[in-house]
Amino acid sequence: MSAPPRVLTVAGSDSGGGAGVQADLKTMLALGTHGMSVLTAVTAQNSLGVQGAWELPAEAVRAQYRSVVDDIGVQAVKTGMLASAELVETVAELISGTDAPAVVDPVGVSKHGDALLAVSALDSVRTRLLPVATVATPNLDEVAQITGVRVAAEGDLRRAAEALLEFGPRWALIKGGHLPGEPVDLLTDGSEEHWLRAPRHDNRHTHGTGCTLASAIAAHLAHGLSVPAAVTAAKEYVTGAIAAGFPLGGGIGPVDHGWALRRRN
């Protein structure tokens, strides 16, 4: 029996299970890959917000990464919460020496508005991490933080993508879900464009959306899909997960990572 494609998430832990490494691993399993993890930080987190966050030492992150990649190998890497400039630079160096596509989710803040990346790390994201990304997947707040371009309408997405591509990722996926009206994302490499639309679901339980989308892209890349095909399939998966999101605790509940498995069964 052959092993499924292997996908590595390099991200923080969400103790509530809705986002971070926990969401990544659930997504990878649901999409038929073997998920592996490098923890960069531990958070005390629930449906109401982030109550605390503690980053791991760079040597611990490096050791986890080398342990997995040198023995098991990977077909795709996904990054999430990296917390500090030192961790951003460490992970960028590791990815640059790995022969696998990398999906960079430049996590800046949590769903509840809690900071998950030091302001001092932004230059490292721009100059070290984005240049090694196969696909970068910022939301509107993150792309503004990185590029200074503020997206107020669908027509601004192209300008934001152009600004992001100047930092070196092969593809930019600008997520426009926070715009009014029908959700639309723009995927582009600077020459071809893919406008990805989906119905808007009236469901407030969307915790983990960004982590889930980036992990789904990585999983599909590990299966051998092209970037446009992987992003399109991931968009379909996360749209279904949002539609099936459920209440948990007293605040914003998670998307449902298992919805596609139940549909297949």
Catalytic residues: 175, 206, 208-211
CA distances, 185 to each of 29, 44, 140, 178 (Å): 25, 31, 10, 10
